[in-house]
Amino acid sequence: MQLAATGELRVGERCLETTAGGALSLATCTGTPAQYWVQDGEGAVWSGLPPELARDMTYDHVRCLDEGMTSTCGDQRRPRWHYLMR
pLDDT along the chain (86 residues), means of 10: 90 93 95 93 86 69 84 73 53
Alpha helices, H only, the chain: none
Residue 79 forms part of a structural domain? no
pTM for the full predicted model? 0.80
Q: Is residue 24 assigned to a domain?
A: yes
Q: Number of folded domains in the chain?
A: 1
Q: What's the confidence (pLDDT) of residue 35?
A: 96
Here the CATH number for the domain that contains residue 16 is: 2.80.10.50
Distances (CA, A) of 65 to 1, 36, 80, 86: 13, 11, 9, 23
Q: Which domain covers residue 34, as residue numbers? A: 2-74
Assess if residue 86 is contained within a domain.
no
Q: Is residue 80 domain-resident?
A: no
Q: Does residue 82 lie in a domain region?
A: no
